[in-house]
Structure 1
Amino acid sequence: MERAATITRTTKETDIEVSLSLDGTGVTDIATGVPFFDHMLDAFGRHGLFDLTVRAQGDVDVDAHHTVEDVGIVLGQALAQALGDKRGITRFGSQFVAMDEALVLAACDISGRGQLHYDVSLPIEIIGTFDTTLAKEFLIALASNAGITLHVVGFKGENSHHIVEAVFKAVGRVLCEAVAVNTRIEGVLPSTKGAL
């Protein structure tokens, strides 16, 4: 069975469509109107080995906040739908990702309890025209709508571009690990409670 989903969401601020395949090869097609965010989503999909298409139109003339956050919401919903009943998944994952001087850890539990724990310091607040605080807003929306517990810790880094890119790559890699089907527990829900 293909583990994939397409979700659309339209508000007065944004119009978003996300298509996600968990068992892809990292093929991405991203257009959000926020160039640096497109670059980050491309890194997320490619390194997570997700086939990912994102189309977003938002009020970027105001700023990128609504677009970035709402893409996180829709991507989280697509991830939850693509996971289905979660039977046979690995569930947990952790990944260190280095990018030049930057080093980031991401760890997750596909728990059904959506939350983000984020400890990343950035030397500058703007990369090009991208407000770096939006990386956290995106991850809050992603984690809460996907029903995953996600920890992201920046261990070191001097260049904000490198740090944020390492964050997106690490989150892609850790989700790739956690959503993978574990053939040793095929069809079994990885929970002592019998529910996720």
Structure 2
Amino acid sequence: MTLTSRLARRADMPTLLPLIGAAITELQKGFLDDAQIESSRSIMGIDTQLIDDGTYFVVESDGQIVGCGGWSRRATLYGGDHSQGRDPALLDPARDPAKVRAMYTDPRFARRGVGRLILSLCEAAAVAEGFDSLELMATLSGRPLYEAAGFVPVEHVEDPAGGTPVRLVRMRKSISASIA
């Protein structure tokens, strides 16, 4: 299987939305119960600001989108267009970590390198803009990928926005020395 990547476009939305829905439903099984999975829909999803900023990627296999994710130079740590508490303020690369955001893999392509490819694209782009660290809010199902990529947990939180609290883990990674 060969994976390719490109920047996402608004025209990709009809493909991305069902992929994201399937990822939320299927990949969190075994980590969250049904009520938590349903609740997580209120805090997860696409953030079109990332597409507009040119920091959101799609990964394709044989011309089919199999994953998406990106990074941000903005203060919002997580959440989709519909989420509360979003902050569009620009980050200062000398002081703030860039944010890895909205990563989703088609469940049929899980554990086949899609997430790692997205993380490498995000890291390279953030370094190119002068950031020396990355931060993300991991789902419990995403945490193993992020730990394998060098992220470390810095805070455990629960987000009650959807009615049933969903456990999340804030994670960080230094990237200044990891890109040669």
Under TM normalisation by the shorter chain, which class is it?
Answer: 0.3 to 0.5
Bigger relative CO (Cα 8 Å, ≥ 6 apart): 1
Greater fraction of residues in helix: 1
Q: TM-score, normalised by structure 2?
A: 0.32
